[in-house]
Amino acid sequence: MPASPARAAAFEILLRIERESSYASELLHSPVCAGLSSRDHALVTELVLGVLRWRSRLDEEIAAASSQSLSKLDTEVLTALRLALYQLRCLDRIPKRAALNESVELVKRARKRSAAAFVNAVLRKLARKTESYYFGILETADLSLRSLASALAHPAWMIERWIEEYGPLVASRICEYDQLIPPTAIRLRAPSAEDDLKQEGVTVSPAQLLSSARVVITGEVAQTQAFRQGHVVIQDQASQLVAALVAPRGHKERDKGEATTPLSPRVRILDCCAAPGGKTLAMADRNPDASITAIELHPHRARLLKKLLRAAQVLGHIQVVVADAQRLPTSLPFDRVLADVPCSGTGTLARHPEIKWRLQPHDLQDLQARQSAILQSAVARVASGGRVVYSTCSLEREENEDVVAQALAQNNSFRVHDCRVELNRLKESGELVFSDVGSLTRGPYLRTIPGLHPCEGFFAAILQKI
């Protein structure tokens, strides 16, 4: 029996992720999936992200059932085994025979026909078990490093860091969150957007963090007119919150942030690493009269950024510049600067699980060097009395507090402005609706934790020029 289009596409995407270090989120919206029905595309997404989330646990089972070590298996063979085993353990609506037979066919189709009998034998052995990975995931009793790494499919070195930084209970909550399908959060840009979505079959509920955010319950937002016309933006709530910290809606802080005055229409905002553009657009919506310069290193990402801003009808007062944020091509001073820097992404593993298996401890130092260079470039462009917001979607201290500490040590004209002041203002204005505002900070910094907060893991620091 030939492999179904959905399984064939999932197999190809998983192979490309292994061979080319590609990202699942990009491949799932690439020509690989062109022509698939919405139902098949949903299955491809489930298969790809599910295999990536549970890869180490899948490999443990495969290794126990295999007569050969995994290191000796061809990539095509191991990928087919993972794909079938994930269906056996996590998709109870998939017939075992279909999962098994189609994975054998995928191996044959990949010109590994000689391995078909081996794949068949291993999968039949694995199919005798009936355990489910999802059962009891939120009731993990053993919080030891080894238990969490095995049961919740995370690299041991990563969990060890989180246990040291946040404690074993919080580390387990992070791991648990990473293994579940995360909710899709959206930002409403037009008053009628929610009703428009409902008319197109998309139901949403109020979000727990921000009043302008919603969580999708049913339906495909990206297939709606409201989305295509830019009335709705898919954006995690933590990302929306970072944009809100850059400049409060229609307000400007005086010295020490004790009072507010209307924000000048001529305010200048710099977004150092702008693509894909969610925060750029959010800042433009909050300050429609501001002049915004959006910097993006990669030309193809800059084109996508322009496309988003054009669809949202805000491109007129936003200048998109292709340049390296480490060497900003402007000497103009800016009232607000956002340095949302490239990072490890460990706060987004539920949505980008391939990062777990790609990232290595030594990568953090390389990332830190680039992040520090970008922040140093950013602070040099801040006007007197202005601010820079430094942010990442990382849970790692090297990329967060340590980068800020380096910047302050090298530049004594800045001080840390407590994020709690801004969060309390957002709470008072009704924009922030989360009940436990204090839990959103760690010291003077914004710190959201997956599994504890209704969003991804983000860090933000506000640096005020004295």
Exposure string for 376-404, b = 16+ CB within 10 A, e = fewer: bbbbebbeeebbbbbbbbbbbbbbbbebb
Task: Report yes or no: 171 and 164 within 8 Å, Cβ to Cβ.
Answer: no
Residue 418 has pLDDT above 60, yes or no: yes
Q: Which pLDDT value is given to residue 133?
A: 80
Query: Quick one: pLDDT at residue 317?
Result: 84
Dump pLDDT digits (tens) for 290-344: 999 999 999 999 999 999 999 899 988 899 999 999 999 988 999 999 999 999 9
pLDDT band at 250 (very low <50, low <70, confident <90, very high): low
Q: Which two tokens stand for residue 270?
A: 């710099």
For 143, list phi and psi in degrees, rounded to 5: -100, 20
Averaged over 352-375, what is the pLDDT?
A: 98
- pLDDT at residue 139, as a whole number: 55
Would you give the distance in Å from CA 347 to the centre of its chain? 7
Mean predicted confidence (pLDDT) in 93-120: 92
What CA–CA distance (Å, rounded) separates 64 from 80? 16
140 with 121: CB under 8 angstroms? no
pLDDT at residue 262 in the model = 42
The C-alpha atoms of residue 321 and residue 318 are separated, in whole angstroms, by 10
Looking at 210-214, 316-320, 393-397, 432-436, which range is the least confident one?
316-320
Cα 58 to Cα 86: distance, rounded to the nearest angstrom: 7
State the amino acid at position 343 in one-letter form.
Answer: C
**257 vs 66, which has greater pLDDT?**
66
Pairwise CA distance, residues 231 & 62, whole Å: 46
Could you report the per-residue pLDDT of 151-169, keeping only the tens digit for each? 999 999 999 999 999 999 9
Q: Span 270-293, mean pLDDT?
A: 95
Confidence of residue 191 (pLDDT cuts 50, 70, 90): confident
Nearest to 420 by CA among 406, 441, 404, 436: 441
pLDDT of residue 94: 85
The position carrying tokens 């959905």 is 6
Q: Is the pLDDT of residue 399 over 90?
A: yes
Beta strands in 67-218 (DSSP E): 185-188, 203-206, 213-218
User: Which of 251, 255, 280 is closest to 264 using CA atoms?
Assistant: 251
Both tokens of 42, joined, read 């949903």
How confident is the model at residue 318, as a pLDDT? 95
Report yes or no: 62 and 81 within 8 Å, Cβ to Cβ: yes
Flag whether pLDDT at 140 surpasses 60.
no
Find where tokens 């919405």 sit. 38
Distance CA 340, CA 460 (A): 9
Residue range 114-125: mean pLDDT, rounded: 95
Query: What are phi and psi for residue 123, nearest 5 degrees?
Result: -70, -35
Q: What is the pLDDT of residue 238?
A: 98
d(CA 349, CA 180): 10
Residues 322 and 302: beta-carbon distance below 8 Å: yes
Specify the DSSP class assigned to residue 336. Answer: E
Predicted confidence (pLDDT) at residue 261 exceeds the cutoff of 50: no
C-alpha 9/C-alpha 45 separation (Å) is: 10
Whether 253 has a pLDDT exceeding 70, the answer reads: no
Q: How sure is the predictor about 134, in pLDDT bands with cuts at 50, 70 and 90?
A: low
Q: 77, 80, 57: which is closest to 129 by C-alpha?
A: 57
Is the per-residue pLDDT at 6 higher than 50? Answer: yes
**Structural domains for the chain:** 5-127 (1.10.940.10), 144-178 (no CATH), 235-465 (3.40.50.150)
Sequence-distant (6+) residues with CB within 8 A of 17 are 23, 24, 27, 48, 52, 354
What is the structure's pLDDT at 47? 97
Whole-number pLDDT of residue 132:
78
How far apart are the C-alpha atoms of 22 and 18, rounded to whole Å? 8
pLDDT at position 93: 84
Q: Return the percentage of the chain with pLDDT > 90, whole number.
A: 86
Q: Look at residue 257 and tell me whether its pLDDT is greater than 70.
A: no
Q: Is the pLDDT of residue 85 over 60?
A: yes
Q: Supply the angle between the helices 96-109 and 75-90 in degrees, to the nearest 10.
A: 170
Query: Across all residues in the chain, what is the average pLDDT?
Result: 92
Neighbours of 18 (CB within 10 A): 16
**Phi, psi values for residue 158, rounded to 5°:** -70, -45
- Residue 137: the pLDDT is 55
Three-state SS for 171?
A: helix
Give the DSSP H or E segment for 269. Answer: strand 268-271
Task: Enter the pTM of the model.
Answer: 0.93
Statement: residue 258 has pLDDT above 60: no
